[in-house]
Amino acid sequence: MLDFIPVWQYNADTNNLNERTTGLVSYLATLFREPLAFFDQAIYRIAAVLIGLCLHEFAHAYVAYRCGDDTAKLAGRMTINPLAHLDPFGTLLMFFVGFGFARPVPINPYKFEGNRVRADFFVAIAGICMNIILFLLFTVLTIVCSTFMWDERVINEYGLSILVSYRYNAIWSIISGNAMNTFGEIIKISWMVPFVRLFAYTALVNLNLAIFNLLPIPPLDGYHVFNDLIFKGRFHLTRMGFRIAMGAVLVLSATGLLGRVISFCVYPIQDLVLLPVKAIWG
Question: Cα(first)–Cα(last) distance of the chain, in Å?
Answer: 42
Residue 149 exposed, middle or buried by CB count within 10 Å (0-12, 13-18, 19+): buried
Give CA separation, 61 vs 99, 106, 112, 134, 224, in Å.
23, 8, 12, 17, 15
CA distance 64 to 97: 32
Distance CA 125, CA 214 (A): 8
Q: Which helix (H) or strand (E) holds 248?
A: helix 239-255
The residues that are catalytic are: 57
Closest alpha carbon to 17 in 138, 153, 170, 143: 170
Per the DSSP assignment, residues forming a β-bridge with 227 are none
What is the C-alpha separation between 25 and 222, in angstroms, rounded? 27
Whole-angstrom distance, CA of residue 135 vs CA of residue 140: 9
CA distance 233 to 222: 13
Phi, psi of 6 (to 5 degrees): -75, 150
